[in-house]
């Protein structure tokens, strides 16, 4: 049986191995460096205080907040109204921390829960209202000029409906869109609650038959 000999590495083979290792390390570092940073997670911030001198005729309970498929994701949507008004785009580096209907519902519930009830009203009696978030989009009319439109359809438990919308200036980036969305939701909350409080709640027996 012939003995297997291990040949010593020559300077040339050592240089090849060294350069190969360096190239692999550079490739790995480049791959790591090329990874895009994770998008910033955005929400609507803390709920604002209820407006002074705005008690409700009765207590309002916000139920479901639904939305069409175009608003069920976490993308912050914008539109270039000045150059491409038919395309809906989303920011690459910023995302909603949760689907927008979830964020809007949570913020409105916090806000409406702080609403005082008018003197003489029964604080135990409440009316339920549901919302459909029909639109929330930032529309650019220029490089740094935009506005956010928030539109909802409210349905009270007596079946009556009313549309509400609000537009806020939003600047030229995702942060501006988020702040404008929060401001629009904060402005709509008291309007929706005041309208719902004027509706007639169902009797306990009728609620039990739903």
Q: Which pLDDT tens digit goes with each residue over 11-25?
A: 554 444 444 455 555
Instruction: Give the other-Cβ count within 10 Å of 123's Cβ.
Output: 10
Cα separation, 81 vs 87, whole angstroms:
9
Output 30 or 160, whichever has higher pLDDT: 160
State percent of the chain over pLDDT 90: 67
Give tens-digit pLDDT for 105-141. Answer: 999 999 999 999 998 888 778 999 999 999 999 999 9
Average pLDDT (154-175) is: 97
Average pLDDT (154-183) is: 97
Task: Report the length, in residues, of the chain.
Answer: 210
The structure's pTM equals: 0.80
């Amino acid at each position: 049986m012939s003995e297997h000999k291990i040949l010593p590495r020559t300077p040339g083979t050592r240089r090849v191995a060294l350069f190969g290792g360096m190239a692999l390390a550079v490739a790995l570092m480049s791959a790591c460096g090329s990874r895009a940073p994770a998008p910033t997670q955005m929400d609507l911030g803390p709920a604002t205080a209820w407006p002074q001198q705005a008690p409700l005729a009765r207590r309002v309970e916000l139920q479901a907040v639904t939305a069409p498929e175009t608003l069920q994701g976490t993308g912050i949507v914008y539109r270039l109204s000045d150059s491409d008004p038919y395309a809906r785009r989303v920011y690459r580096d910023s995302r909603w921390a949760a689907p927008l209907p979830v964020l809007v519902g949570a913020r409105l519930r916090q806000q409406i829960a702080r609403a005082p009830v008018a003197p003489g009203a029964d604080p135990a009696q409440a009316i339920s209202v549901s919302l459909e978030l029909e639109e929330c989009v930032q529309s650019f009319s220029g490089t740094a000029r935009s506005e956010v439109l928030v539109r909802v359809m409210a349905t009270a438990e007596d079946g009556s409906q009313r549309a509400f919308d609000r537009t806020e200036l939003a600047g030229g980036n995702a942060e501006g869109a988020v702040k404008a969305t929060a401001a629009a939701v904060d402005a709509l909350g008291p309007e929706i609650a005041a309208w719902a409080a004027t509706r007639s709640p169902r009797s306990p027996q009728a609620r039990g038959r739903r």
